[in-house]
Amino acid sequence: MEQFDYIIIGAGSAGCTLANRLGEDRAKRILIVEAGPMDRNLLIHVPAGVYKAWREPKFNWNYDTEPEPELLNQQVFMPRGKVLGGSSSINSMVYMRGHPLDFDGWEQECGLPGWGYAHCLPYFKAGESYNRGGDAWRGGEGPLGTCKGDYENPLYDAFVQAGEEAGQGYTDDLNGYQPEGVARLDATKRDGRRCSAAVAHLRPALARGNVSLITRAMVERIDIAQGRAQGITYRHRGALHQARASGEVILSGGALNSPHLLMLSGIGPAAHLKEHGIACLVDAPDVGQNLQDHASIILQFESRKHYPIHTVDRPWNKAMAGLRWVFTRDGIAASNIWEAGGLVRGNDHVAYPNLQYHMGPVGFEYVGNKITLSQAFAIHVDQLRPRSRGELRLRSANPGDKPLMQFNYLSDPHDLKELVEGVHKCRDLVAQGAFDALRGAEMIPGPHVKSDEEIAQWVRGVTTTDFHPSCTCRMGPDDRAVVDGECRVKGVEGLRVVDASVMPRITSANLNAPTQMIAARAADFIAGRPQRAPEYPGFAFEA
């Protein structure tokens, strides 16, 4: 049985960040345990390769929701990274922090002093190295490589121009001074390669020599005695092992795996644990509750002009794109595809953007794990601040059984209304003059879907996830909150949860960037270091 100062469960976005920041103190011995394999597969590191890699069972937990009542009882496929780097190794690499007012809401409305955007911004900046350099809003010297989309395609240009023409706004940087409008998006890439959390954070941490990594190791429980987390029990190569932490155990399994492991370890709703024969050590009724996600729909339109990306899935074209990437690190293979998008308002009553676009200059269809491309372009429309709430529960007391998850998408009529508005906004954008020479027929949902009632019925049949589960171990000052404002699990000493599950409310954009920010802040809490001084350089919405 080995002894460490800190044990980190999960080598995803949060776990890798924690290992790097805590490992700066070389006197500390740190163990990080990951259920998946190393990230050696080349398709993980080729940006466009993700569209083959992300459905690979070797790298993916491959969850499914329970039948969703408001989605015509369909199950929603819920991929989560099971590989070094976690979901940051299989995501679409879009780097978005969320709107500053999201974090101000955490502070002012959720009772979390010190979590306003002024306190978070210094950590966002310290964490990234932006290819256009640092300024009052962006970081230029951090470990995570980020870059502005630069793959040239007239469909991206038309999208951005059409957003302006439609009055939906334009911004040069959604993570900067004006976090609203359409834009070329940022991505977690460096020199044409994916910059996952493993690349940015874990490899530098391992190089110091005081961080140990075990892969393909499934943690079965957190060992708790006398009210304190003592260590973990994990299965590796068919045998059970134990490791002990003299400092803290930090759970960074993500919004689905973290509450699951807490409940398996005796921390959760007492009655539910009793149903599965698990002794309740801490009655924590909100473990697994408050589950949130960004519901997403995808519209597709024919492109009147052909571009190389439309046929890159053909064997010869794919081989040539791969060879170009090997020798030059550019071209189609170096693109994460969703290089344009936006944060926009679906109506005049919201205080700040409530819809998000991700635009790709190609049509696509998945049949199983095979993707077929077409001469078209696609636009994701996400509803950003859902009122619907779901829950995650145990399927059994067997650690190998996947949890039950019910997101209850669109169970609040407000969410369906906003997605219907999103269809109208997207169609209005594509109808602008900037698209006249490029826009063909609407393929999905098609021109026959016209009225709000018809759109709503279509939305119920096609809504899916944008891969942002969160909030199942929420921070808060109240007794039901799972963790406090420093991510400490209430009722247990020496145990924290640090990942997207601690968000009290989902942020209005992709979650990888804020998850790394949360982890960097948590590392300072754990190490007893002072927090970075708050910064608030001002934003366009205050003008």
Residue 366 and residue 377: Cα distance in Å, rounded? 15
Where would I find the H helices in 91-191? Answer: 100-109, 117-127, 154-165
Q: How far is CA 312 from the centre of its chain?
A: 27
Q: Give the DSSP H or E segment for 366.
A: strand 363-367
Phi and psi of 449, rounded to 5°?
A: -95, 100
Residue 7 and residue 229: Cα distance in Å, rounded? 10
Does the annotation flag 1 for ligand binding?
Answer: no
Residue 169 and residue 343: Cα distance in Å, rounded? 9
Q: What amino acid is encoded at 272 in this protein?
A: H
Does the annotation flag 282 for ligand binding?
Answer: no
Residue 301 and residue 289: Cα distance in Å, rounded? 38
Q: Give the DSSP H or E segment for 357.
A: strand 355-360
Residue 293 is given by DSSP the state -
Q: Give the active site residue among 260, 294, 380, 468.
A: 468
424 noted as active-site residue: no
Paired strand residues for 263: none
Residue 56 and residue 215: Cα distance in Å, rounded? 17
Beta strands in 161-238 (DSSP E): 181-184, 186-187, 189-190, 193-194, 211-214, 217-225, 228-236
Angle at 173 between CA 168 and CA 179, to 5 degrees: 55
Residue 390 is given by DSSP the state B
Dig out the tokens for 259 from the structure. Answer: 């509450």
Residue 69 and residue 49: Cα distance in Å, rounded? 34
Sequence-distant (6+) residues with CB within 8 A of 398 are none
Beta strands in 161-216 (DSSP E): 181-184, 186-187, 189-190, 193-194, 211-214
Does the annotation flag 443 for ligand binding?
Answer: no
Residue 267 and residue 360: Cα distance in Å, rounded? 43
Residue 199 is given by DSSP the state I
Is the sign of the CA dihedral 305, 307, 313, 317 positive or negative? Answer: positive
What residue has token string 């999960």? 10
How many CB atoms are closer than 10 A to CB 493?
12
Does the annotation flag 449 for ligand binding?
Answer: no
Phi-psi region of 228 (alpha: psi -120 to 50; beta: other; left: phi over 0): beta
Coil/strand/helix, residue 496:
strand
Does the annotation flag 317 for ligand binding?
Answer: no
Coil/strand/helix, residue 220:
strand
Instruction: Confirm if 59 and 81 have CB atoms less than 8 A apart.
Output: yes
Does the annotation flag 131 for ligand binding?
Answer: no
Per the annotation, where are the binding residues for FAD? 83, 91-94, 219
Binding-site positions read 83, 91-94, 219
Active site residues: 468
